[in-house]
Amino acid sequence: MEQQPGVFVAKASTNAWEPDPDVPGSAMQELVRADGLWAGLTRFAEVDGPVPWKPERREIAVILEGSVRIEIAAGGVLELGVGDLFSLPPGVETTWHVTTPFKEAWVLAD
């Protein structure tokens, strides 16, 4: 939520979640979408199988709750848990195997 021009605030413990149109089965809370970046929170309460994800921009995220195994189509696997910080380049095809409950804070930037 924009508190003042260009100043955005959100609480990680919020109940103000909305379905994420880009990631089926997840919910999100947007912090900011301005100045070439998009940032917020994503959570999964339940997951029905692997989740495909291909970021359109550089993604940087930190795991706040749960864990995830990210398979990278070009090869490699990331095993991530609470406190782990990671980054994915734009256009990389990934498959996420999420352990719920799961929550991450993320930034997508040009």
Identify the CA nearest to 45 among candidates 98, 108, 107.
98
Distance between CA 73 and CA 104 in Å, rounded?
A: 21
Look at residue 10 in the predicted model and tell me its pLDDT: 78
Look at residue 13 in the predicted model and tell me its pLDDT: 74
Question: What tokens does 60 get?
Answer: 């940087």
**What does the pLDDT profile of the chain (110 residues) look like in tens digits?**
677 888 878 777 767 789 998 888 899 999 999 999 999 999 999 998 999 999 999 999 999 999 999 999 999 999 999 999 999 999 999 999 999 999 999 999 98
Instruction: Supply the CATH number for residue 100's domain.
Output: 2.60.120.10
**Structural domain boundaries enclosing 39:** 2-109
**The pTM of the whole model exceeds 0.75:** yes
Identify the CA nearest to 97 among candidates 69, 56, 76.
69
The count of structural domains within the chain is 1
